[in-house]
Amino acid sequence: MKRQDVILRGLIYNEEVSLAVADMTQTVNEAIRIHHLSPLSAAALGRTLIVAAYMCSSLKEEHGALSVTIRGDGVGGGIYVSGDASLHMRGYIENPYAELPLNARGKLDVGGCVGKNGYLSVVRDDGENIPFVGTTPLVSGEIGEDFASYFTCSEQLPTAIAVGVKIGKDGSCVGAGGVFLQPMPGASEESIARAEEMIGKFSAISSLVEEKSAEEILKEYFGEVNFYTRRPAYKCNCSRHYIEGILAALGEEEIRSVVKEQGKVSVHCHYCNTDYTFSPEEAEAVIARAKSKADT
Ligand SMILES: [Zn+2]
């Protein structure tokens, strides 16, 4: 039976370090199914989905949301991931079919897919006032290191990160997971050093997740920990109603000119790879509804 995706969170090392262990194999498989991803594109987008879901599990407000953009100069192009406090995650990569030879360690060359020159940007909305926006330059394009640099430089929250995606021979994901160790404010030097040392044991996190459940990993490496369970999933929040709103915002003139040119209007949702098509009559109905809304 396939395991359900999970993020386990708890406090370790005298409650001085926040721990998260994530298994997101199914989420990555859903991304592969929706976007027909090559193994390399799946690894790059998958790693981003895992870290973004971890960040979503830290959102304070019920209505909080978060968006990650990674723009490097690699063959994969830009990576875009969004999620919310319910851990409904979605994302896409500009080149879903990216391919490169394996790297020197015989692994998928995620660094080459993402690129070393570029930036990682996060927009985080805790549901309070103005969203927080942070941007840092890419370090290696390996994503885990890039996010670690982001946490240190942009959020002043040094975080030890191990993240990985393993793709099987048939192109499906057999293990996708992450371990995150974030010292709490005021954590002792000793706890910080322990966290830094510990993260080194998870260099093969995707293989670990392939073999063991997140709970087994947590118990094996951290012992008895009081943890709570969150359930991430790939879920797009678009709907025909939502897309109608986007269409209406284009304005009457623009909608009619597209209908005239193409005989219809199509709006594409990149996150779930869905086309919403409006016939000339349906487009007119959208215009009429937008007008009646504006009048009231
Ligand atoms: Zn969608």
Give the tens place of pLDDT for each residue, 114-172: 999 999 999 999 877 789 999 999 999 999 999 999 999 999 999 999 999 999 999 99
How far is the centre of ligand 1, averaged over its atoms, from the C-alpha of 114 (Å)? Answer: 23
Spell out the domains of the chain, with CATH numbers in brackets.
6-234 (3.55.30.10), 240-295 (3.90.1280.10)
How far is the centre of ligand 1, averaged over its atoms, from the C-alpha of 91 (Å)? Answer: 9
CA-wise closest residue to 15 among 191, 200, 216: 191
How far is the centre of ligand 1, averaged over its atoms, from the C-alpha of 152 (Å)? Answer: 32
How far is the centre of ligand 1, averaged over its atoms, from the C-alpha of 231 (Å)? Answer: 20
Cα–Cα distance between 265 and 243 in angstroms, integer? 11
Cα–Cα distance between 54 and 119 in angstroms, integer? 20
Give the tens place of pLDDT for each residue, 230-268: 999 999 989 999 999 999 999 999 999 999 999 999 999
pLDDT score at 126: 86
Task: Report pTM.
Answer: 0.94
Residue 198 dihedral angles phi and psi, to the nearest 5°: -60, -40
How far is the centre of ligand 1, averaged over its atoms, from the C-alpha of 259 (Å)? Answer: 22
How far is the centre of ligand 1, averaged over its atoms, from the C-alpha of 275 (Å)? Answer: 9
